[in-house]
Amino acid sequence: MADSAIKLTVKFGGKSIPISVSADVTVKDLKSLLQPITNVLPRGQKLIFKGKVLVETSTLKQSAVGDGAKIMLMASQGLHQGEGPVLKEASTRPISRTLVSDKVDQRKPGLIVDKNRTDRWKATGVIALAQANLKEIPEEVWDCGSKARVLDISENFIEQVPARISSFGSMQKLFLHGNGLSDESIQWEGIASLKRLMLLSISHNNLTVLPSAVGSLASLRQLDVSNNKLTNLPNEIGLLTQLEILKANNNRITNLPESIGNCTFLMEVDLSANILSELPETFTKMRNLKTLELNNTGLKMLPSGLFKMCLQLSTLGLHNTEITVEFLRQLEGWDDFDERRCTKHQKQLDFRVVGSGEFDEGADKSW
């Protein structure tokens, strides 16, 4: 077998991808190998060699693809996954002159102190500084201490979330999304000490790792880590036993820890646009699960007992995966699940919910 190993160059998106495989692998196998490298689902890949589209069932040897061959990869629109963050580059918003007294000077962030504003923060417990063109957390914010319950510094240019954020002992909601934060930008020991935190939003950043420290947030109900560059979720995610909503879509997650099944209060999970090929069987322990979004992933199967055990599940998204409606109908518990989703759709029609006019099968009919 070693003698039949060949080196190929795959051209995709203006880049050259070197890959070494056996000449005896099929074109379909090659597509599977390219999935985690290109973030394109196998069914969305078209491999072209010397002007001809390679047939999935043929081996590379049968297709006359030899050592040193150059193959072009064309991707179908809508079948990409894990594209990473969608960030504003430098789209600062002009600050209205009428609001300038309530903003921080862009050149010297944190140096202008609005006493009325600080008093208001302390009285309400809500520190609202979204879209304020901030590069750092203003100094007067820290004066709020244990009086702060909500901190919204989203859609700024915050460069550091320091450990002193632990001084907000009563913090319940923390909004950090849309700042372009990197792994080094956040001192997680500070956030991990916020024992009353119920909502954490860190989406639309540049995070590649969700650290184990997140497991210390035992009161967390909502976690939004979508639109980052995460490749996995830590085992400690299973310690978030009060978690109800998990949004981790648009990342590069390849697998999930078995411990996620300990999050039995989860009602809504969005894992769309990741590089997942399977879900752990422990998903069947989520008896409160109502919505599960898995569109644009590499999924080929579901936990066998998903419909049978998750008796509140009524919304399931599997478009642009290898799971078809025909496959779903063969799973035990399908009929009851189908009845729940039809009932939900009818209620949406009755209450004239926007976007509920056409019934969505949840998965593609074939591929």
d(Cα 207, Cα 256) in Å, to the nearest integer? 17
Q: Could you write out the DSSP letters of every residue in 134-179?
A: -SS--HHHHTTGGG--EEE--SS----B-GGGGG-TT--EEE--SS
DSSP code at position 186:
B
Portions of the chain given CATH number 3.80.10.10: 122-353
Residues with Cβ within 8 Å of 59's Cβ and at least 6 positions away in sequence, in order, are 23, 24, 25, 26, 27
Portions of the chain given CATH number 3.10.20.90: 5-75
Q: Which CATH fold would you assign to the domain 122-353?
A: 3.80.10
Structure tokens at 313: 């599940």
Residue-wise pLDDT tens for the chain (367 aa)? Answer: 445 789 999 998 888 889 889 989 999 889 888 887 887 878 788 899 988 899 999 999 999 999 999 998 988 755 555 444 333 333 333 333 233 334 334 444 444 556 688 999 999 999 999 999 999 999 999 999 999 999 999 999 999 999 999 999 999 999 999 999 999 999 999 999 999 999 999 999 999 999 999 999 999 999 999 999 999 999 999 999 999 999 999 999 999 999 999 999 999 999 999 999 899 999 999 999 999 999 999 898 999 899 999 999 999 999 988 898 899 999 999 999 999 988 887 877 766 654 555 656 676 765 4
Residue type, 251: N
- List, edge to edge, every strand of the sheet that includes 5-12: 15-22, 5-12, 70-75, 45-49, 52-53
5-75 carries CATH number 3.10.20.90: yes
C-alpha gyration radius of the chain: 24
Residue type, 244: E
pTM, two decimals, is 0.74
